[in-house]
Amino acid sequence: MININYKSLLQMLLALFIGTCGSIFFIYLNLPLPWLLGSIFATTIAMRFEKLPIISPKTFSPPARILIGLTIGSAFTPEILDYIGVYFFSLLLVIPFTILTIILGTYYYHKLLKYDIKTSYLGSMPGGVIEMVIIGEEIKANIAKITLMQSSRLFFVVISIPLIIQYGFNIDISGNKLITTPILEINLFEFFILLILGYIGAIVAKRYKVTAALLIGPMIISIFVHSTGLITTIVPDEFLKFVQVVFGTIIGFTFKGVELKTIVKTLFSTFGHFIILIILCTLFVMISYYLFDFPIVSTLLAFGPGGQSEINLIAILVGANLPYITLHHIVRLFIVMNIAPIIAKKFKD
């Protein structure tokens, strides 16, 4: 039998409700990326009230990641796949970009802020929060500080990129715009089959310890069925709005239980690293844009140092080139997840 903790479920649903209220508030104010940023804003405030019976809705994260993977895969049409060879030289730029990001970030935290080398190294990694924490536990680094550093970086990236896109490039990403097709207009049977295949892909990828398995597994399955024309149905608009609220609420909870003084101090220190990332990102975006003539917004998102799920979600919302962006983030994540544990274990206590 499946043991369901109804109390925890209700607390997660209440958190999601608060996140949704924040999204609606952002829609009312016509702010960019309201379903994601609004839920971050509302949850960040709500979790400061300790008596509120809410917990992070992490249970909803796996299905949300599966849905994003399926959505990304649906962009790999036969026509787009013909252009993958064109991305090759742009993908090569990810290697120096990632290495410079790690070196400069580690130098900033270790030499300037006097953090220990292990924490500086893993905190500066342009990888996922969970992955860096797992590696940090293995080498006995400061897990709490790494979590705050990685979460703060993600927070700055998720907040800044939508603002840059909406106000810098005049691309509307308001809350009333349809992301994909409404659920009433899709083939529900095909969508059900797609969900089952995505779940199977996630299980298989996790079993074989694929990096970001819940995202990559469903994405590979989706690429296959959509590029071959076996399935044409995509994830409906309502589901993607729900995914944004889930991730926004979870991000808002990353600072839960941490003293406000510590949060402010970490945000200030991470902001210095964020400035370094902005300079690096701008440099490589300009190089890629002028050399290969890819659309500037797609190039920005391809080199954007945020979480793969969050960046891909923004890409979906602005109608950017998903295959181009996804391939860049896969290469970056592959580099990070392969070199991070090897070098980290060489650091002495």
Query: Tell me: the pLDDT tens digits for 72-100?
Result: 788 776 666 666 677 888 889 999 999 99
Q: Residue 122: CB partners within 8 Å, gap ≥ 6?
A: 132, 135, 136, 141, 146, 340, 344
Tell me the pLDDT tens digit for each residue of 6-45.
Answer: 889 999 999 999 999 999 998 888 776 788 888 988 998 8
Considering the entire predicted model, what is its pTM?
A: 0.69
Lowest-pLDDT range of 161-165, 187-191, 249-253, 314-318: 314-318
Tell me the pLDDT tens digit for each residue of 186-210.
Answer: 999 999 999 999 999 999 999 998 8
Q: Where is pLDDT greater, at 65 or 198?
A: 198
Lowest-pLDDT range of 13-17, 241-245, 305-309, 331-335: 305-309
Tell me the pLDDT tens digit for each residue of 126-180.
Answer: 866 656 766 676 677 777 688 778 878 877 887 888 888 888 887 776 655 666 7
Rounded to a whole number, what is the largest CA-CA distance in the chain? Answer: 58
HEC string of the chain equals CCCCCHHHHHHHHHHHHHHHHHHHHHHHCCCCCHHHHHHHHHHHHHCCCCCCCCCCCHHHHHHHHHHHHHHHHCCCCHHHHCCHHHHHHHHHCHHHHHHHHHHHHHHHHHHHCCCCHHHHHHHCCCCCHHHHHHHHHHCCCCHHHHHHHHHHHHHHHHHHHHHHHHHHCCCCCCCCCCCCCCHHHCCHHHHHHHHHHHHHHHHHHHHCCCCCHHHHHHHHHHHHHHHCCCCCCCCCHHHHHHHHHHHHHHHHHHHCCCCHHHHHHHHHHHHHHHHHHHHHHHHHHHHHHHHHCCCHHHHHHHHCCCCHHHHHHHHHHHCCCHHHHHHHHHHHHHHHHHHHHHHHCCCCC
Q: What is the pLDDT of residue 349?
A: 56
Mean pLDDT, the chain, whole residue set: 84
> If pLDDT is split at 50, 70 and 90, which confidence band does 63 have?
very high
Q: What is the pLDDT of residue 1?
A: 38
pLDDT of 336 > 70? The answer is yes
% the chain with pLDDT above 70:
87
Q: What is the pLDDT of residue 129?
A: 64
The answer to whether 336 and 307 have CB atoms below 8 angstroms apart is: no
Q: What is the pLDDT of residue 78?
A: 66
- Token pair of 65 as six digits: 């990641």
% the chain with pLDDT above 90:
32
> If pLDDT is split at 50, 70 and 90, which confidence band does 309 have?
low
> If pLDDT is split at 50, 70 and 90, which confidence band does 3 have?
low
> If pLDDT is split at 50, 70 and 90, which confidence band does 329 have?
confident
> If pLDDT is split at 50, 70 and 90, which confidence band does 2 have?
very low
Tell me the pLDDT tens digit for each residue of 273-292.
Answer: 999 999 999 999 999 888 88
pLDDT of 103 > 90? The answer is yes
